[in-house]
Amino acid sequence: MRRIVVLMLIIIPILIFAEEYTLEKLINIGLENSYAIKQENVNNLNARSNLRSSWIRLLPSASISAGSSKNYDTDMDWSKSASFHLSKDISLNEPSYYDVRTSILNKKNADLSLENMKKLIAYTVFIKYLSVLEAQKNLEIQKENLALQQKTTDQVQIQFEMGDKSTLELQQSKISQIDYEIAVNEAVNSLNKLRKSLFSYLNISDEGFDLSTPEIDVTIDEAEFVTNISLKQMENSLKSSKIIVSQLKMNFLPSITILYSMNHNNPDDIYDLGNYDRTNNTLSLSASYNIFNLFDTREQYLQSKRNHELLKMDLEITKKSNIIDLQILLSDLETIKQSQKLYGEKLELAEQNLQMAQEHYKHGMISLLDLDRSKIEFQNSTISNMTKKFELLRKREEINLFLSDKILGKW
């Protein structure tokens, strides 16, 4: 029994302190709590509703009426009547037809906008998450440097008491220690601010758990720009503009309308629907032309056509610009990869150099200033190597966002 109790006392603290935040969990929380996502969902539902309404407007007009009446002057019994009316008019410039076409494109753009917002939220959470991880790693490095400097200061203190080091060297060592303490304090403050920014964006409280380091594949295939969400939306907008131009162009033609109506009226027996003599079918064709409205129609058409040409030009410019932007992003990615490799080699050399400098300093072969230089070089190399690693991760997902590919292979 005692062994079980002891085992529980060991396991429970481990389980408590082992809890940590994961990137996937926080991204899902961000997507769930995001006001922008909720707004895009509402816009998407409204676009669906508008599309359904445009289809409904294609239906004919139908009405049913029923009534009863009595003439007290003639002292007759109550008379009952019922009627059914169905009509539909079709014109060359049928507004409901064009509404359906534009509503379909608006629905597609709403879907694309929702998809893009999800990617943007996932990317933003990822960037903030990496910033916290980077600050967390930076704090660890600064603490290690402070501990290393503390050890050096203690050695200098002992050597000073033995008469092997001067007062100036002892003061220099203490000054360096203060610098490292300042760096630790600033790193703590930076980490706190970045964590607050992350959890404020997620709209949840920070429980203080550590952030786990995600395993992210930084390899990226040869990318070639084909299209992305922004470009697809521009293409849909161009199609909508073309539909509007076509609709305005039809206004130059005479207004030709075909009307069909069916009316069934039963003034005697409303339950006797088999008598078709009381049903009227009407088919009419009418044409009209508003002469003085021609000038206004022309101006509207020219305005719409000019706007359409600008949209077409903007689309072509954007396509070319996107190709160049992707080339720049891929060039940046390759540069970061090469820099990270070199910084890794530099870090190994700086670590070896620091170890040798510490040994030489113990034996009085170099001055404290030379040792500090080795420490600073090692510190800078460590931070630079870490920064390039996180920069590589950011750049890879920036390319995915630009191409509208899945963020982190999932969102």
pLDDT in tens, 366-397: 877 677 778 878 888 888 888 888 898 899 89
pLDDT at residue 187, as a whole number:
92
Q: Are 120 and 201 in contact (CB under 8 A)?
A: no
pLDDT at residue 141, as a whole number:
84
132-136, 298-302, 374-378, 390-394: the lowest-pLDDT one: 374-378
pLDDT at residue 90, as a whole number:
72
Tell me: pLDDT of 228 over 50: yes
pLDDT at residue 157, as a whole number:
85
pLDDT at residue 154, as a whole number:
85
Superfamily in which the 20-62+78-409 domain is placed by CATH: Outer membrane efflux proteins (OEP) (1.20.1600.10)
pLDDT at residue 264, as a whole number:
56
42-56, 97-111, 116-130, 262-276: the lowest-pLDDT one: 262-276
CA distances from 227 to 115, 187, 403 (A): 15, 41, 7
Tell me: pLDDT of 176 over 60: yes
3-12, 39-48, 149-158, 298-307: the lowest-pLDDT one: 3-12
pLDDT at residue 223, as a whole number:
73
Residue 81, classed as helix, strand or coil, is: strand
101-105, 197-201, 229-233, 365-369: the lowest-pLDDT one: 365-369
Q: How far apart are CA 145 and CA 122, in angstroms?
A: 34
| pTM for this predicted structure | 0.80
Q: Which residues pair with 281 in a beta bridge?
A: 262
- Minimal CA–CA distance to 96: which of 63, 62, 60? 60
CB atoms within 10 A of CB 28: 15
pLDDT tens-digit profile of 2-56?
555 444 544 444 344 458 899 999 999 999 999 999 999 999 999 999 999 999 8
Percentage of residues of the chain with pLDDT beyond 70 = 82
pLDDT at residue 232, as a whole number:
95
Identify which has the larger pLDDT, 230 or 378: 230
- Minimal CA–CA distance to 409: which of 133, 117, 226, 214? 214
Instruction: Enter the tokens of residue 361.
Output: 């300093």
Tell me: pLDDT of 230 over 60: yes
- Minimal CA–CA distance to 279: which of 265, 290, 298? 265
54-68, 80-94, 132-146, 331-345: the lowest-pLDDT one: 80-94
The whole-number average pLDDT for the span 57-83 is 72
Angle, nearest 10°, between helix axes 368-403 and 294-362? 150
The whole-number average pLDDT for the span 157-182 is 85
pLDDT at residue 61, as a whole number:
77
Residue 292, classed as helix, strand or coil, is: coil
Q: Are 383 and 306 in contact (CB under 8 A)?
A: no
Identify which has the larger pLDDT, 188 or 277: 188
- Based on its alpha-carbon atoms, the radius of gyration of the chain, rounded to whole angstroms, reads 38
The helix (H) or strand (E) run that includes residue 206 is none
pLDDT at residue 6, as a whole number:
45
Q: Domain residues of the chain, as ranges?
A: 20-62+78-409
pLDDT at residue 71, as a whole number:
67
213-222, 234-243, 253-262, 354-363 — which one is most confidently predicted on average? 234-243
Q: Give the chain's length.
A: 411
CA distances from 251 to 101, 102, 185, 256, 293 (A): 18, 18, 72, 11, 10
Bridge pairing between strands 79-91 and 255-266: antiparallel
pLDDT at residue 168, as a whole number:
85
